Amino acid sequence: MRKYRLQTIIFVLVAFMLGCNEFMVIGILSDIALHLHVSVALTGYLVTIFATVYAVSTPFITILTSKYSRYKTLLVLMVIFLIGNTLSGFATNYGWMLLSRIISASVAGSIISLIMTFTTAIAPIEKRASLVSWVFAGFSIASVFGVPIGTMISTNYGWQYAFFAVSGITIITFFLLIWLLPKHVEQVQGSIKGQLSLLKDNRIYLGILLVLFTAATMYGYYTYIRPLLTTVLGFSNDYLNMILFAIGIMNIISNRWSGAVSEHNGLRAMPKYYVADIILLLSFPLALATKASGLLVLLILSLIVTLVNSPIQIHFLNTAEREYPQSLVLASSLNSIFFNFGISLGSATSSILAGAIGLKNIGLGSAFFAILALVLIIALNQAIKAHQQTRKVR
């Protein structure tokens, strides 16, 4: 039990490490732009390119490395990540910085996918959902604490040292993984075609679309969270960090709640939360009329908008483990891949709507995505039920 707890801590640390690398750039964009002598707008593309490379490279690396030991593959990917992150700290021009971010992004998704597959190896079935929720919590912790810490380091010592701090965490985590990870886990190898057979299952592709539109729902408004708080609601910059911290805490609570939901009713419990999302998002223009109501809606949304994370991850893992064992690592990566695609969809939609109908109304785009997600979760639950009935008949 003591080893399992230590393994859980290390898995959360890996997620925290990856989250810091991905998110902290947002807080130090201006410092990087100033040092590299480029515009903040051009530096902002580092965020977009990172998310795109992350989403595109993950399935390819996951499939191509599936025939190798998961333990050794994870350690190799950790070394590549360390190289990419450290190169970011040493970057002297934009091209160097861009290349280093591509290196980090290319393996980040595969690292977290392998961590997710190790949860099936070390966690008892009744604790699997809780462990998965803790891994997701690692990313939220990075957004709550990692970003402001990275900004503080950048302000006081230089932005390069924020990356060096992540490299230090990576080195510590690397040796802890060597110590605590199981060296040999049962894994089924398969051809590329065999692994991709997973995607033909309607329970999988409905889940993929659900993840995509859930992420689009969140980032349809969250992309503009700062101007929503300052320009629309009128909060001063003095309160901004405090409010963002509160939203981050709600995200952490949401991840733990997501694990509890997954352990009980799982996906069957999700439709009512999407209905609540839709109601809240449609009320956006009215809620944003006052500070109190606007902030309350944003906090509630932060609590419920991604509750599906753990249930859908467990759904992908369990479906693959039972029926597509050769695709287990690929299945574990689907959530992170399509969540990143959803981020791109949601942020692009919010940018269009912000210019067309104003910030106060961008919740309408998110509401549309939430309606699509509601339809998908109902269809997914029906597909799961139909499959279970078919198995009983057999």
As a whole number of angstroms, the distance between CA 122 and CA 124 comes to 7
Fold entry, domain 190-394: Growth Hormone; Chain: A; (1.20.1250)
pLDDT of residue 141: 85
Average pLDDT over residues 205-215: 95
pLDDT, residue 387, reads 87
Question: Residue 190 — pLDDT band, cuts 50, 70, 90?
Answer: low
Expressed in angstroms, the distance from the first to the final Cα of the chain is 39
- CA 164 to chain CA mean position, Å: 23
Task: Between 116 and 99, name the one with better pLDDT.
Answer: 99
Cα gap 261→312, rounded to integer Å: 11
Question: Do 89 and 161 contact (CB within 8 A), yes or no?
Answer: yes
Cα 167 from chain centroid? 20
pTM over 0.75: yes
Q: What share of the chain is helix, strand, coil (3-state, %, to 5)?
A: 90, 0, 10
Say which CATH topology domain 1-187 has. Growth Hormone; Chain: A; (1.20.1250)
Task: Please write the tens of the pLDDT for every residue from 46-93.
Answer: 877 888 888 889 888 988 888 888 899 999 999 999 999 999 999 999
Give residue 57's identity as a one-letter amino acid code: S
Class of residue 283 by CB neighbours under 10 A (exposed 0-12, middle 13-18, buried 19+): middle
CB of 101 closer than 8 Å to CB of 84: yes
User: Does residue 379 surpass a pLDDT of 90?
Assistant: yes
Instruction: Check whether 187 has a pLDDT greater than 70.
Output: no
Distance between CA atoms of 223 and 58, rounded to whole angstroms?
23
* The two domains 1-187 and 190-394 share their CATH topology (first three levels equal): yes
Least confident of 4-13, 194-203, 268-277: 194-203
- pLDDT tens for 221-254 read 887 887 888 888 998 877 877 888 888 889 889 9
Q: Is the pLDDT of residue 137 over 90?
A: no
- Tokens found for residue 23: 């998110």
Q: Is the pLDDT of residue 344 over 90?
A: no
Q: If pLDDT is split at 50, 70 and 90, which confidence band does 393 have?
A: low
Q: Quick one: pLDDT band at residue 134, thresholds 50, 70, 90? A: confident
Give residue-wise pLDDT tens across range 301-312: 999 998 999 999
Is residue 220 within 8 A of residue 363, CB to CB? The reply is yes
CA–CA distance, 85 with 164 (Å, rounded to integer) = 8
pLDDT at 42: 81
Q: Is 215 a residue whose pLDDT tops 80?
A: yes
DSSP-derived letter for residue 67 is T
Q: What percent of the chain has pLDDT over 90?
A: 45
Is a pLDDT exceeding 70 seen at residue 185? no
Please give the mean pLDDT across all residues of the chain: 88
Q: Where are the domains of the chain?
A: 1-187, 190-394
